Amino acid sequence: MDIEHVRSRFVKHFDGTTGAVYASPGRINLIGEHTDYNGGFVFPGAIDKGIVAEIKPNGTHTVRAYSIDLKDYTEFGLEEQDAPRASWARYIFGVCREMMKRGVPVQGFNTAFAGDVPLGAGMSSSAALESTYAFALNELFGEGQIDKFELAKVGQATEHNYCGVKCGIMDQFASLFGRKGSLIRLDCRTLEYAYYPFEPKGYKLVLIDSVVKHELASSAYNKRRQSCESVVEVIKQQHPQVEFLRDCTLQMLQEAKSGISEEDYQRAEYVIEEIQRVLEVCDALEKGDYETVGQKMYETHQGMSKLYEVSCEELDFLNDLAFDCGVTGSRVMGGGFGGCTLNLVKEELYSTFIENAKTKYKAKLGKSPKVYDVVISDGARRLA
């Protein structure tokens, strides 16, 4: 994340003066996928890639925003009807609106931003963007009155209300609460969280980016969420205390089977098992048992591929390849429908695995995957 790059463009693009600089990271998630909107557990960490933005109030009611990477400039007002067309600008607009709904007197500002978190790779580039602006506007216009959880909800509400994705809270939470060297276990129902130092001796975490992003990923995502909610409605008829799939057991699901479509049944089965897997991985980590951690990652992949159906040919190929190379754990990470696999690899196997992944993926699918070593880093902050 390069401050000088952003600063030089900000100065050049606007009136030659400088503003305040903020940054927020993308995230990885060790385990716990599609569990957040089901009131379950997730286990993410912030990474060393994210968004950097320079911002300066301009004394008007207009936001003037420049995307350095896309070389695209737009201006918009701050009322509901002023929503910009460009999708990148809608994130910033949405954050402004959500902050205003929470009583922050947001005014016009000039801003330029850039990022090094790959777009559409399942590493939460959009949450990084939202968190950057939520954190910054809170300081610049709100005297820090909004707490970090509410800032995460600002990002989530931006996705829901301005970008059409009914996401959970994990990505924005990780981007704001990240801490160097630690993963964070979050209970998405109570919002209780705990930091777990993560420095696996003898292993590395590496992302292999399939460089595919499937169309309609956001509508398929929303559809998964709907499946989960309709299963809850059916189970609730027998168990009125149930609020989320988090509150359901496999037995309750089994008992409700006749009222649930086969597809929705499989979706719920995956989620109930996945919530349990997060807890098992936390236990294994505390004992330094990385073999179990890895095994659970493979189980997650199976579930995401066969039951939840959010994997794809390319990701399944990368997962099989990891298994064949003897990699300890591997799975599709994030929402799915493209993006990365997350791999827990023994250090001595690392170069063979990467070599293999590159050549075999290219030979089979005709494109080169990208490789990112995971460095667990700090969350949203002011840089200058």
**Active site positions, annotated:** 171
Q: Interface with ligand GLA includes 33 (CB under 6 A)? A: yes
Residue 325 to residue 75: CA distance in whole angstroms: 51
Least distance in angstroms from the C-beta of 34 to ligand GLA: 5
Q: Interface with ligand GLA includes 335 (CB under 6 A)? A: yes
Length of the chain (residues)? 384
* Structural contact between residues 121 and 341, judged by C-beta atoms closer than 8 angstroms: no
Residue 142 to residue 96: CA distance in whole angstroms: 11
Residue 89 to residue 162: CA distance in whole angstroms: 10
Nearer to ligand GLA, 268 or 354 (CB): 268
Nearer to ligand GLA, 54 or 209 (CB): 209
- Nearest Cα to 333, choosing from 164, 205, 193, 155? 205
Site for ligand GLA in 295-334 (CB under 6 A): 334
- Nearest Cα to 73, choosing from 126, 12, 149, 143? 12
Q: Interface with ligand GLA includes 34 (CB under 6 A)? A: yes
- Measured distance between the N- and C-terminal CA atoms of the chain, rounded to whole angstroms: 13
Nearer to ligand GLA, 112 or 333 (CB): 333
**Binder of ligand GLA out of 99, 106, 128, 167 (CB under 6 A):** 167
Q: What b/e readout covers 283-314, taking b as 16+ CB neighbours within 10 angstroms?
A: ebbeeeebebbbbbbbbbbbbbbebbbbbbeb
Q: Interface with ligand GLA includes 171 (CB under 6 A)? A: yes
Nearer to ligand GLA, 159 or 264 (CB): 159
**Binder of ligand GLA out of 55, 129, 170, 217 (CB under 6 A):** 170
Number of residues that bind ligand GLA (CB under 6 A): 11
Other beta carbons within 10 Å of 104:
19
Part in contact with ligand GLA (CB under 6 A); list of ranges 91-99, 138-146, 167-175, 360-368: 167-175
Nearer to ligand GLA, 334 or 338 (CB): 334
Binding site for ligand GLA (CB under 6 A): 33-34, 36-37, 124, 167-168, 170-171, 334-335
